[in-house]
Amino acid sequence: MKKHSHSIFKLKSDTWLALSQPAAVEIYAPEGTGYFKAKKENNRRITALEDVSKLIVLSKINSGNFDRESLYDDYGLLAQELKSCRYNSECKNGACAQYIDTYHCQMMAQYISLLLPGKPKDYQVITLCFSQEVYSDRWLQDSKYKVSACIGEREQLLRNVLIHNKLPMPFGGVWSMEYHTFKQPLDNYWQLKLRVISSKDKLILPKLREYMRRTKNDVIRECFSCQAVEKKTFSDFMSLVTYALDPTWREVPCSINEDLKIIKGIPRQLSVHSLPNALLAQEYLGPNVITFSGDISGLLTSRGQA
């Protein structure tokens, strides 16, 4: 995980002390995963990767192009690396469920300590869904390195919009991707999204919606409309930071209504079919890329630490 030299990231609150304990990690981990469920998820990921790797090796054997190097492919190598991961071992692999579980808990602890002594009603969670950044599963497999560049570009453009309109920068957040599935598998795609914790400045949402419309992020594939900006509020800090800082990639069943609008179903964990390519991309991105480092100076000022 990226080491922050700024003093605000040296957590001194009771919140961090509580979350750093194994028992508390199990309580506050995303979706209640905890040690055993995170380990179980890692095993599921290893199996999915190994299944793809075996198919690749078998294909090379059948084609007559098999040699010693054929024993090694990206899926098999990642599976081997995940097998060596241990909970809280700081493997720093973005594809490791156990490490991402720990990363999420640490992020939550950081922001709970910073948001206090404010009140949950003072903040909102904004989700930006970039429909101009949708990719096929094959593209994600072949161009996983481009996702990092795309995140960097989108983040800089977003910062420019906020600065230009003299709006407060979000305090922080996380980039992730959703795999939208339809009745016809060829219609499936990955969509980039950003979720951030923000103040309730009355101009932020209108300006962000205007920006997303102007950049055509409210339309997918030039004809299907979608919701580009979403807002949620929470009555307690734990729910707020759990939702805002969750780095989990999910699969979302979708349909298209008579008005040509994308209707999302209930998100679920990635299937064994969509998981392998997602893991290769997550390994490359890691927490440093997916973390949106916002402006926390306002929070520090409110705590008398600026």
Chain segment 46-98, per-residue pLDDT in tens: 999 999 999 988 887 787 776 666 667 899 999 999 998 876 666 889 999 98
* Distance of alpha carbon 203 from alpha carbon 213, whole angstroms: 16
Rounded-to-10 torsion of CA 221, 206, 291, 85: -60
Cis ω on the peptide bond leading into residue 206 (within 30° of 0)?
Answer: no
DSSP state of 169: P
Amino acid at 255: S
The gap from C-alpha 125 to its chain's centroid, in whole angstroms, comes to: 14
What is the percentage of the chain residues whose pLDDT exceeds 90?
Answer: 56
Contact 251, 178 (CB under 8 A): yes
Nearest residue to 207 (alpha-carbon basis) of 245, 175, 160, 251 = 160
**Torsion sign (Cα): 183, 188, 190, 196:** negative
Residue-level pLDDT at 249: 96
Number of helices and strands (H, E) in the chain?
Answer: 11, 10
Give me the phi and psi of 41, to 5 degrees please. -65, -40
Residue-level pLDDT at 63: 76
Quick one: pLDDT band at residue 221, thresholds 50, 70, 90? confident
For tokens 């492919």, what's the residue?
Answer: 73
The gap from C-alpha 32 to its chain's centroid, in whole angstroms, comes to: 17
Least confident of 49-53, 61-65, 108-112, 260-264: 61-65
And the tokens for 195? 């979720």
Residue-level pLDDT at 222: 77
For residue 207, is pLDDT > 80? yes
Residue range 118-133: average pLDDT? 92
Quick one: pLDDT band at residue 118, thresholds 50, 70, 90? confident
Q: Which residues of 77-87 are buried (b: 16+ CB within 10 A; e: fewer)?
A: ebbebbeebeb
Mean pLDDT of the chain: 83
Residue range 160-183: average pLDDT? 93
pTM of the model: 0.82
Q: How is 241-306 classified by DSSP, letter by letter? A: HHHHT----EEEEEEE-TTSBEEE---EEPPTTTHHHHHHHHHHHHHHHHEEE---HHHHHHTT--
Amino acid at 205: L
pLDDT digits (tens, 9 = 90+) for 127-163: 999 998 888 888 888 887 889 999 999 999 999 999 9
Nearest residue to 281 (alpha-carbon basis) of 98, 138, 133, 88 = 138
Residue-level pLDDT at 23: 34
And the tokens for 212? 């997303």
Domain coordinates in residue numbering, the chain: 122-302
Quick one: pLDDT band at residue 113, thresholds 50, 70, 90? confident
Residue-level pLDDT at 299: 62
Residue range 6-31: average pLDDT? 35
Distances (CA, A) of 27 to 18, 20, 24, 32, 91: 10, 11, 5, 6, 22
Contacts 24+ apart (CB under 8 A), 11-19: 11/109, 11/110, 11/113, 12/113, 13/109, 13/112, 13/113, 13/116, 15/109, 15/112, 15/113, 15/116, 16/109, 16/110, 16/113, 19/105, 19/106, 19/108, 19/109
Least confident of 19-23, 113-117, 118-122: 19-23
